[in-house]
Amino acid sequence: MTKPFDTPIFVTRPNLPSLDELSAGLAEIWNNRWLTNRGPLLERFEARLAALFDLPHVSVMTNGTVALELGLQALKLTGEVITTPFTFAASVNAVVRTGLTPVFADIEPDHLTLDPARVEAAITPRTSAILAVHVFGHPCRVAALEAVAARNGLSVVYDAAHAFGVTVDGVPIGHFGDLSMFSFHATKPFHALEGGALTYRRADLRAVLERLANHGLGADGDVLEAGTNGKMTEVQALVGLLMLDRVAAIMERNKAIASIYRARLAALPGIDCLAPPAAGVKVNHAYAPVLVNPALAGIDRDGLYDALRQRNVFTRKYFYPAVSAMTAFRHLRAADPLEGANQAAARVLALPIYADLDDDDVHRICDMITAICRRQAA
List 59, 65, 113, 324, residue binding ligand T4K (CB under 6 A): 65
Beta carbons within 10 angstroms of residue 151's beta carbon: 10
The Cα 2–Cα 31 span in angstroms is 53
Smallest separation, CB 134 to ligand T4K (Å): 8
Per CB under 6 A, 14 contacts ligand T4K: yes
List 70, 114, 161, 291, residue binding ligand T4K (CB under 6 A): 161
Closer by beta carbon to ligand T4K, 133 or else 365: 133
Per CB under 6 A, 88 contacts ligand T4K: yes
Smallest separation, CB 125 to ligand T4K (Å): 28
The Cα 170–Cα 164 span in angstroms is 14
Per CB under 6 A, 228 contacts ligand T4K: no
Alpha helix stretches (DSSP H) within the chain: 19-32, 40-53, 64-74, 89-97, 116-122, 142-152, 205-212, 234-244, 247-265, 294-297, 301-310, 339-347, 359-377
Q: Is residue 103 within 8 Å of 339, Cβ to Cβ?
A: no
Sign of CA dihedral 60, 63, 68, 71: negative
The Cα 373–Cα 378 span in angstroms is 9
List 83, 84, 87, 128, residue binding ligand T4K (CB under 6 A): 87
Amino acid at 164: F
Closer by beta carbon to ligand T4K, 39 or else 196: 196
The Cα 83–Cα 93 span in angstroms is 12
Per CB under 6 A, 177 contacts ligand T4K: no
φ, ψ (nearest 5 deg) of residue 253: -65, -45
Per CB under 6 A, 186 contacts ligand T4K: yes
Sketch the per residue contact string, 23 through 62, with ligand T4K: x for CB under 6 A, - otherwise. ----------------------------------------
Tell which positions 98-137 bind ligand T4K, by CB under 6 A.
133
Per CB under 6 A, 314 contacts ligand T4K: yes
Beta carbons within 10 angstroms of residue 318's beta carbon: 19
List 46, 159, 234, 300, residue binding ligand T4K (CB under 6 A): 159
Residues of the shown chain interacting with ligand T4K in the complex, contacts defined by CB under 6 A: 10-14, 63-65, 87-88, 90-91, 133, 159, 161-162, 183, 185-187, 196, 314, 316, 318
